[in-house]
Structure 1
């Protein structure tokens, strides 16, 4: 579906006692997700209820209203901000007369758009197949829509409903292929051992790819969209002192991240588990910054990342009044990755954090041992180098990783 032929979408959200606190932000996020999936939101139907209706989420009266809205706005698609059971999806679709998907399927669809690597594509397909398998009844119209559309990208266009056995076989094959890919990545990771590793994590669209680009000149895809990055990307970065580290960008976190995606992208996030330092990138201009921070912190705990040293990078400082900013996470640095000073300020903050994490050392290196000296510059944060004339040697001071050969 081209940009000119954007699907017209009606969003549906129910505010309950349980969801009241984050409801507004969650609906805004759904709108952003729809835009990222190349949909045009023509109406948002909101409802307040003590709890969602078990059969149709919104109840019979509101369902009639939804059908009228679909006709009035000539909508092509309805997206619910709630995970729909197969039965609910089928009932609602029958009533409104256009395809109906939920938030999970929308996110899966965006992931299908974004996946570039073989592993990324396999993981997306696995998550979609797992999710769609129990929902195949009544999906025929959806999956054979002319030109595809939101909710049908990835394996959707292969008419999944025709053969459940084929799908189960495909799931088994994908899991086997993913194991092979994971084994290959483990070998690659082993080769990187000994190199200090920095990981970028944070809410989707916080600016992680922009930061990777300014530090490493990686030229990765960066755009003001949700889930602009999907496949993890690792690049080398050499600090001005000569210390070489790797920086890894990962998929952005999001409120209510579907469990299918936590499972499917386990290996993507696995990259971050082996990091020596995590940069938690936060969009300081977001109206819902505290909630986004909490979402990331909770997911980090769930994924056992909370033991890894952290530096919070408050990004997009150009969009706020700096003297009114109150940080909530420490240690931190406030920058604008787009500004000329952003890289310098971030580098200085990372260096200070490295000095807290690494172990200080002081060694004497003979003048003749040039190779050892260049190795120290490359593998440690070398801060001082004094020449001792009497000894014809260098007195070198710096900070090294705990497992470094310098400290042995």
Structure 2
């Protein structure tokens, strides 16, 4: 058993060491503690890719012990804010509502806000399969063509979720570039406190010393926060909202802020934490504080899921705060931002019209209202909905967006400048950045 503390002083008899594993079978009288005089460090190596570890970074895949290249502090090293590089390279996920309306930049931290029973694991796995860079030459470069790695940390998940991700990585042929840390539901609760930190320390080593581009998936952050509450209650600390500790914001920030790019290093860390909102409540402390720290969120909606729409991403509460710097001419296409704004506006108006229709009936709606209703239905069925293995380029997604916007006369498309409308709105006129033929709707 290890305990951190001052090793050159005598320990008092009422000292309470923190145990990161189960305490069953420990004889209190015969057990001794050795104070190492050091912080908790984890061994890291490039050989960790392709391996499976438990929540304490011990191998559980029957493979050999990893020969450490270094021993790093699991809390990470402080990064000078001036030394950070602003994320400006868009990651193409192949998922239309993300690529067009909530674009992710390399080095961003963006969580998936989901709830029990929704396909957030499938969405995260699809992002892992399809993630690639959009190059200025307008072709898409797969992550796997360069130094790319995935670090996956599971906290308090069931065996089925762990098996799903492991088998998906194996079927995709990317297991040799994946490092898994699995703390399952039947593993010690307190181990969940260190699991994400072990994963991020490994990711930092791969990104900043091996110069790889690392995608970190953390699931389920709700289990992590509940473990934090449990430890806080055991320490008899003063609770905050709903029993969670008052320092939970700071604690979550120590995890989420370990993403980004650093000057002088080619590697990057992109974080996609997954959390399940208790009772679908976005005002719960866990999603509430997470949304403050991270750079947006991807909102998985139960109503869309109940209508058999996959991926059930509701674009209205979703947000990507770094989208503006990763899209546009020279990065994706010059009409990208305007198309996104117009799709948002039309979808929001369509939702209002749908609510009004339920009150006054369809007969009382104007001709413009009926156009917005038509757009709403086609947007959900043809833009949001796609298969789990349907990998759309950002240009295909933009073209689908234009086909939906052509439902309206030009006069109603008030979010798009005249020059962009003149170039992309005519059915026979296609934008110069488009590579694919229009998909028939």
Instruction: Name the TM-score class by shorter chain.
Output: under 0.3
TM-score normalised by L of structure 1? 0.25
Q: Return the structure number with greater strand share.
A: 1
TM-score normalised by L of structure 2? 0.24
Query: Greater RCO between the two (CA within 8 Å, min separation 6)?
Result: 2
Q: Return the structure number with greater helix share.
A: 1
